[in-house]
Amino acid sequence: MMRLWFRSGTPWIWLTAGAVSLSLIMVAGLLFLIAVRGMAHFWPAAVLEAKTGAPGAEQRIVGEIHNRERVLAQHLREAGIVLPLATSTWVERLLIKTGNRDATGQDFRWVLAHELRDTQYPKDIAVVERREWGSLYGRIANFKENGQVVAEGAAAVNALNERLPRTRELVERIRKIEKNDIGYINARIERLRLKQRKLELAHKFDDRQRAMLDAERAEAQGEFQELQNQLRKLSQESLRDSVAVEISDGRRVDVPLGKWVNFYFPNDMSIVAKVGFYIVKAWEFVSDEPREANTEGGIFPAIFGTIMMVLIMSVLVAPFGVVAAVYLREYAKQGVITRLIRIAVNNLAGVPSIVYGVFGLGFFVYFLGGNIDQLFFPEALPAPTFGTPGLLWSSITLALLTVPVVIVATEEGLSRTPRAIREGSLALGATQWETLWRTVIPMASPAIMTGLILAVARAAGEVAPLMLVGVVKLAPTLPLDMTPPFLHLDRKFMHLGFHIHDVGFQSPNIEAARPVVYATALLLVLVVILLNLGAIAIRNHLREKYRSLEH
């Protein structure tokens, strides 16, 4: 009876179903963990104030409980930590984010739970988000204008609420001038330098050309100097006011208002206020630029770079994959060579991605890019233009990596097109090309979109090849801006996958970076899902459009 049951194949069906279910449960569990850890990053946690240490040498500690863990008391005793005799087998240990790195030298501190005494959550404890040195925890003591105290206590908080929005506007104006206006002038001066160099190489640089270029350069330098004066005034104005914050050890730390990002009192916030704060911080995360070695701020450049690279890769991989598949299926003579090509295409899908990265670096960047620089940008040499990793080479490398998937999927779609439709089209007088273009390829378009979906899913998450052909830790400018030629394919860019690797493994402050890693990983999953949903919607539309032709 058991033999017949096994021969029927039922056990293998159940085994396969169980394996698929287990895989789905594991994926769902991983996504749930990432979502919980990532989304909790934006919630304003309560800030405790407690005493620790022996009586007479006690210290005050202020901060957020970042993590909890249980450790064996025996391990702590072996490490030289004195514990009470009545201590149980397990001891709870707390990781408290104390901030104030510029004053204390550390952001986090491990404390045994039983060592905390007189724990309370005062409502006047403020959390200050700064542009440098991370968060600051303490009580707002006074508000200074030009070094003179103008408000103390609650009045200082009111003055801070009044002045901070204006200071933020000043900082934003400084950022725009530095990034946009001065960046545009620097690009303009660089174009003038390259123009002069190009004329010199062509032996056409005469006194008239020199006078014209010098006049344009002087005009640009004048605009640059004017912007520098504006920056100096704005910077002085943004740093005019300062706030003194009393930290846990009783010292007062003066922070210029231009260094403040935000401040809040988490112990004095209602649920509604916390929800509003949560929404604002989540939006800042996806819309702002990173700061503090990518451990704070937003990740908009990484989101933009990821989507831009995937879109360019899709534009490149779709036509090449479809043309190759059409040739192999419709035009190539079916024989040994064609079978070998198909085997090679299938094997290419299994090549490690880092191999594509090495190939892209050697062939696309150094060979193609170097020759492009020699032919079209000799005036810029020895500084490379396209002979260096950038957005274009990253997109082409990933297109090469994912083109086998598109070829296989397109061939499957072409093979499923009914023969009667081809014959009917040819019988009506259409050529083979017209039959392919107007009938066969449109009917195979759902399969083409399936291949593109798989290509997008793989390309969006790849990191190893991008580390060699264009991705960087921090890109000062986006690949798309208002400076001609607007789309800068030669620029390096940020990527969500590399951002996770960099923050998670290269950060100098791993505890502060861990929540950012979870939040970025969650966002990368969401970006991949959104890109796939868009492609799936197009595929379903095409499938419904051409379904009537199959019957």
- Residue-wise burial string across 452-474, b where 16 or more C-beta atoms lie within 10 A, e elsewhere: bbbbbbbbbbbbbbbbbbbbbee
What was the pLDDT predicted at 138? 92
Which two structure tokens, joined as six digits, stand for 478?
A: 């986006």
Residues in the chain: 551
Per-residue pLDDT of the chain (551 residues; tens, 9 = 90+): 677 766 777 778 888 889 999 999 998 898 888 888 888 888 899 999 998 877 777 888 999 998 888 888 887 787 777 777 666 778 888 999 988 888 888 888 888 888 888 889 999 999 999 988 888 999 999 999 888 888 888 898 999 899 899 999 999 999 889 888 888 898 888 888 988 888 888 888 888 888 998 999 999 999 999 999 999 999 988 888 999 999 988 889 898 988 999 999 999 999 999 999 999 999 999 998 888 778 888 899 999 999 899 999 999 998 888 888 888 888 888 888 888 888 888 888 788 889 999 999 999 999 999 999 999 988 888 889 899 999 999 999 999 999 998 998 888 888 888 888 887 888 888 888 888 888 888 888 888 888 888 888 888 888 889 999 989 988 878 888 877 778 888 899 999 989 888 888 887 777 778 888 888 888 888 888 887 788 788 777 777 776 655 55
pLDDT at residue 233, as a whole number: 92
Look at residue 232 and give its three-state secondary structure: helix
DSSP class of residue 367 equals I
SS3 62: strand
Integer angstrom CA distances of residue 437 from 322, 360, 422, 434, 441: 12, 32, 11, 5, 6
Neighbour count for residue 375 (Cβ, 10 Å): 8
Cβ proximity of 45 and 266 under 8 Å: yes
Q: Say how far residue 531 (Cα) sits from the centre of its chain.
A: 15
Q: What is the CA radius of gyration of the chain?
A: 31
Centre a 10 Å sphere on the Cβ of residue 9 and count the other Cβ atoms it contains.
9
- If one counts every other C-beta atom within 10 angstroms of the C-beta of residue 249, the result is 13
- pLDDT at position 1 is 62
Please, is 284 exposed, middle or buried when counting C-beta atoms within 10 Å of its C-beta (0-12, 13-18, 19+)?
middle
